[in-house]
Amino acid sequence: MNIIELKKVGEIAPPLFNEQGQPCGYVHSIETGAAVDGPGMRFALFVSGCQFRCLYCHNPDTWKLHNGKLYTVDEIVAEIGKYASFLRVAGGLTISGGEPMMQAHFTGEIFRRAKHDLKLHTAIDTQGFLSGNLDDDWFEPIDLVLLDIKEFNSARHERLTGKPVEPTLAFAERLVRLKKKVWLRYVLLPGFSDFAEDVDALARFAASLGNVERVEVLPFHKLGEHKWADLGLTYELTDVQPPSRDLIKRVQAQFREHGLTTY
């Protein structure tokens, strides 16, 4: 199955170095005991920069690359290293965002050192839009991909995120070839991503890949709405309510009908 030829779309940020010539990047935040960003207890690194403009984004303050705090790779690896003995048995490292591939030179080196030097399980939380810019070797130290597919229908995906879905679907197919495990993440937003035919099409696609270990149906929430106001942005979903329990169960059942495990 070839949804789209894998090609470059958008641009990753160029490599960044401080005055001492050390590689560095912008970090939005760090969570040392994350329980919802991959298996077990994780060190979660949230980096800045994202090309998507998701209507429900709860961290719009991560969109701009320079909104974060500048860290060197050495500083981040040293911070992860403080917890490495615990993380080896309890969970691992997850890099999220923003979009980790926006700062691929920075995040790629952190993944490499976390995997090969600290011996940690590694996961990336991504929508994969920029993956066509990266060689296969970049993904070598990554054990698990938390893949965000926002909507299967391209027009509806673009309405929701500002970008087409095809590069993300191409990345999903590439992960099969790379033999990477996938946890699919799907934010359920009434009126935007709850169309039964789209959910069914996504479920068929995900089941066909053979590497999707689970599907996380994530109910839309408005916990980040105040950030939009703080940034002077217009939040379009003020009047949209979170999905009902019945709707969540229906969508979960659609994925299960195709043999997928849902949460």
Quick: pLDDT tens for 97-133.
Answer: 999 999 999 999 999 999 999 999 999 999 999 999 9
> How far is 154 from 164, CA to CA, in rounded Å?
6
Which percentage of the chain shows pLDDT scores above 90? 95
pLDDT given for residue 11 in this prediction? 84
Number of other residues whose CB lies within 10 A of the CB of residue 11: 10
Q: What is the mean pLDDT of residues 168-186?
A: 98
N residues, the chain = 263
Reported as a single tens digit per residue, the pLDDT across 67-82 is: 899 999 999 999 999 9
Bridge partners, 122 (sequence order) = 93
Q: Map out the domains of the chain with their CATH numbers.
A: 22-256 (3.20.20.70)
Is residue 221 within 8 A of residue 173, CB to CB? The reply is no
This prediction has a pTM of 0.94
